[in-house]
Amino acid sequence: MGAWKYILKKFFQAFLTLLFVLAVNFFLFRVLPGDPAKSVARSLKLSLEDTQKLRVEFGLDQPVFPNQFVLYVENTVTGNLGTSYITARPVSEAIATRVWWTLLLVGTSTVLATGLGIIVGIKGAWRRGGTFDVGSLGVSLTLYSMPEGWLGMMLLTFFAVTLHVFPAGQAQSAPPPAGAIPQFVDILNHLFLPCLTLTLGYIGEYSIIMRASLLETINEDFVGTARAKGLLDKNVRRHHAVPNALLPIVTLVVLNFGYILGGAIVVEYVFSYPGLGAFTVEAINANDFPVIQGVFLLTSAAVIFANFIADLLYVYLDPRVREV
Amino acid sequence: MSLIPNEPLDSSLMLRGSPPPAAPPKSPRRIAWDRRRRSLRESWNTFRENKIGIAGLVMLCIFIAIAVCAPLIVPHKQTEITSGSSINKLMPPLREAIPSTCHEVSQEGGSTKIACDTKFSMRYPMGTDGFGRSIFAQWVWGARISLLIGLTATVIAMAVGAVVGISGGFFGGHTDTFMNGITNWFLVIPWIALAIAMASVLGPSLLNIILVIAITSWASSARLVRSQTLSVRNRNYVERARALGASNWHIITRDILPNVFPIIFANTILLVALAILSETTLSIIGLGDPTRVSWGQMLERGFNAGASSLGAWWWLFFPGAGITLTVLGFAMCGYALDEILNPRLRKR
């Protein structure tokens, strides 16, 4: 019973947050910069009548609240994110073609960074103060301190430009090689440097968090009890300490999702990887507000959804939540 | 070893009704300050033994000194194009062109470019960019802008976080529901999306960048302050102060704030690190202030001018290294402080 109430509450919270995002989005792009029809007219060099037509189309001749807001919510919910000022094509269409590359990049690097970070963190915390711990902590802090964009630029300059071992940009060769396997290898080859950048950029953070979490857990009484029972050191670690220390990591991985997206945007731009990030940067440089707005909505919704999933995972992982 | 002991000495003595200490009576303020000074000294002694913390502090001091003393290190006009720079374009670090050896070389496509032999020189310690400007000069002055943005944004974020967190945690009820709701919203919205949206709407300027970073980073500190306030709110000495007729303002400034401060402090230092990284990210994707050369702005300019494909690594390496070392300094200090101030992390 308790679990369902908890899930329902979390669902309601996620829903409210989504509404808030919608409101912020509307406020930022419709109320603050003034008349979007004017900005379209400026960038597409439209005549006055055309601008007026646009204004009717956007519903800008009606009062801001509630008419414009309702129209905007209607459009957004039905997947109409507006039309790009630059390409004059629907934003949702452009996002749909590019989102897969971003998912591929963010997905692989998140899995790699989390996995490796957790392993490094466990090793360090279990032998606190040892050579491995001090060394890995130093490396982790340094990696954490590097801006991903800069790391990407350095790797690009070194591996792609100077050594020519990896391609300098894009996600595929043009034209893509024939056959499924060469094509797969080609995609991996293009993915390697951006993925390495993001993985290195986040591995430090995860290993630091895992280390701290495990250090807190080691001090708990149940770990002492496990030791007192005479369990082998590795069994105490595997079955008692680590599973409990992993709990906060789940939330943090999800909360970090937003930061990883930020990193992905810069890294995609540096490697001209054709995902959402590079697309966003183009839109920023061209003041293409509908695109920026669409990306803002999509990423926010994705992160809110990820948070909701993390809350659900918690029900499964932490029995205390079920009982409350 | 928290900065402030949980139980103030004076009030606990008073309530138990034990005889006053033999020393001549001091004013309550004096006692409080003596206590604070003592615990600060204790914390400093613990911090001093933490090698990571001290290394971080030393790094920070160096970079802050560079930023403060920028006019003494290199004149600002050297960040602009200087005379004789046309032959000194894209010089690697510690090299300078020898004017007498310069000659025209024809390139593919019929255009010509001037090529010169180079010699060792201290004139451009970090090389020059594609316009012949000294990277060292830009780097020194860039430290100022980067640190300024990081520190100001953090101060604003901490102030907002402290007000929201303390008011929510202390007053409870509807205030808390409201404040906590807002905090949670800002925690969930991905900062990069909000920052991009805000920065592109507000337009690029130093103040806007600072505001955007502050607005996207206050929520985590608000949550931290709130949980600390909640744990302090019901302690005995707060009850006592209330029983003695203290106002809310008095309790917040005299009892809550000093007890919440140590944890906030470690968090603040980590926030500066994040703020500098955020500024870099925003600059690289073209949302920085183009008129103020920060380290992030140097990266953006260099990358846009094709430093990467020209193989001019020094153009990109030094600003990024500056950011990394500064952030590392803040992160090491914050990390050490966290280990000292967070009792759950202490060695057993």
Average pLDDT of the segment spanning A245-257: 77
Which has more pLDDT, A122 or B106?
A122
Between chains, do A261 and B190 touch, taking CB under 8 Å as contact?
yes
Per-residue pLDDT of chain B (348 residues; tens, 9 = 90+): 444 444 444 444 444 555 555 666 778 888 888 888 888 888 888 888 888 889 999 999 999 999 999 889 888 777 776 655 577 777 788 777 777 777 777 777 667 777 777 777 777 788 888 888 888 999 999 999 999 999 999 999 999 999 999 999 899 889 998 998 889 888 878 888 888 888 888 888 899 999 999 998 999 889 889 988 988 888 888 889 888 988 888 888 888 888 888 778 878 888 999 999 999 999 998 888 888 889 999 999 999 998 888 888 999 999 999 999 999 999 999 888 877 776 665 554
Between chains, do A287 and B191 touch, taking CB under 8 Å as contact?
no
Domains along the sequence of chain B with CATH: 56-75+133-345 (1.10.3720.10)
Residue A178 lies in a domain: yes
Between chains, do A216 and B345 touch, taking CB under 8 Å as contact?
yes
Residue A187 lies in a domain: yes
What's residue A262's pLDDT? 77
Between chains, do A295 and B196 touch, taking CB under 8 Å as contact?
yes
Residue A219 lies in a domain: yes
**A33-52: pLDDT as tens digits:** 555 566 666 666 667 777 77
Please say whether the beta carbons of B229 and B166 come within 8 A.
yes
Residue A116 has pLDDT above 90, yes or no: yes
Residue A319 lies in a domain: no
> In terms of residue numbers, what domain contains A132?
98-285
Gap from A157 CA to chain B (nearest CA, Å): 5
**A190-216: pLDDT as tens digits:** 999 999 999 999 899 899 889 988 988
Average pLDDT of the segment spanning A217-232: 88
Work out how many CB contacts closer than 8 A connect A with B: 166
What's residue B147's pLDDT? 95
Among chain A residues, the shortest Cα distance to B272 is held by: A145
Residue A1 has pLDDT above 60, yes or no: no
Mutation for A interface: B192, B209, B274, B315, most A CBs within 10 A: B192
Of A152-166, A231-245, B219-233, B252-266, the one with minimum mean pLDDT is B252-266
Among chain B residues, the shortest Cα distance to A271 is held by: B308
Residue A303 has pLDDT above 80, yes or no: yes
Residue A52 lies in a domain: no
| Residue that the structure tokens 């720079």 belong to | B85
Residue A185 lies in a domain: yes
Q: How far apart are CA A39 and CA A287, in angstroms?
A: 9
Residue A74 lies in a domain: no
Gap from B213 CA to chain A (nearest CA, Å): 13
Which has more pLDDT, B219 or A87?
B219
Residue A120 lies in a domain: yes
What's residue A203's pLDDT? 92
What CATH number is associated with residue A219?
1.10.3720.10
What's residue B82's pLDDT? 63
Q: How many domains is chain A partitioned into structurally?
A: 1
ipTM of the complex: 0.85
